Amino acid sequence: MSTGNQGGTTLLELQQVGRTYRLGDVRLEALAALDLAIAPGEFVAFTGPSGSGKSTLCHLLGLLDLPTAGRIFLSGEDTATLDENRRAEIRNRRIGFVFQDFSLVPVLSALENVQLPLHLRRTPPADSRRRAAEALAAVGLAGSANQRPSQLSGGQQQRVALARGLVTEAEILIADEPTANLDSASAYAVLGLMRRLNTERGTTVLLATHDARLLEGVGRRVELRDGRLVADRRGGAP
């Protein structure tokens, strides 16, 4: 009972996906009955108020978490059939993440932070240094390679995190509130980079945000409310 897989062109397909959290006796439905199909190369924004389920959805799409109901297919493969090792391998190989809290390692330089996902893939050090330097240059931080996170502004740290998310040139970039706490100029710079990845490299970009500044011109907006999909709009550029 495939719902959205037209001729095998679906990258990610969710069928009746739900995620329930249990807190003692209380059950909290963070996501419910979600049907969604994402094609390769799409730029999709997930919007909705705080608590609507955006981060939960990002974690599920990135195979960081498992649904408690329904199925998630990645390139036609039912992800429920994958063990944790295989899911980790897919995350390393195919998915780049950018999270709101940056999660940079404080004792490492900006360059070393960006190299981390390449280390996970056992990229030779000389190669990983070169690619990390390129990624830092792409986010406008070539001059800050040797600085530690604490020596950078919030916007610069966010761009380091973005460089780390894109350095592997993964086919899917998942960004959860990547511009929270950023001034407008930095927010637009981060969005511009994601747009370029999408248009120039064909990276599928999945962006959770309630930052209205970022939504202008985004190709597709999926709106959540109380864990349910309430709108799925495709719009052109402004």
Ligand X SMILES: Nc1ncnc2c1ncn2[C@@H]1O[C@H](COP(=O)(O)OP(=O)(O)OP(=O)(O)O)[C@@H](O)[C@H]1O
Site residues for ligand X per CB under 6 A? 21, 23, 28, 30, 48, 50-56, 210
Report in angstroms how near the CB of residue 180 gets to Mg ion at its nearest.
9
Cα distance between residue 31 and residue 21, in whole Å: 10
Query: Strand, coil or helix: what is 229?
Result: strand
C-alpha to C-alpha distance for 203 and 31, rounded to whole angstroms: 26
Query: CA 40, CA 202: separation in Å to the nearest integer?
Result: 8
Q: How far is the CB of 50 from ligand X (least distance, A)?
A: 3
Q: Does 47 bind Mg ion (CB under 5 A)?
A: no
Q: State which residue, 54 or 131, has the beta carbon closest to Mg ion.
A: 54
Distances 70 to 27, 36, 227, 234 between C-alpha atoms, Å: 17, 11, 14, 25
Angle, helices 154-166 vs 184-196, to 10°: value is 10
Q: Which of 15, 47, 55, 157 binds Mg ion (CB under 5 A)?
A: 55
Nearer to ligand X, 31 or 162 (CB): 31
- Cβ distance to ligand X smaller for residue 28 or 137: 28
CB 116 within 8 A of CB 132: no
Residue 50's binding partner out of ligand X, Mg ion, none, with CB under 5 to 8 Å set by partner kind: ligand X
Radius of gyration of the chain measured on its C-alpha atoms:
18
> Among Mg ion, ligand X, none, what binds residue 53 when CB lies within 5 to 8 Å by partner kind?
ligand X
Between 195 and 210, CB nearer to Mg ion: 210
Binding residues for Mg ion (CB under 5 A): 54-55
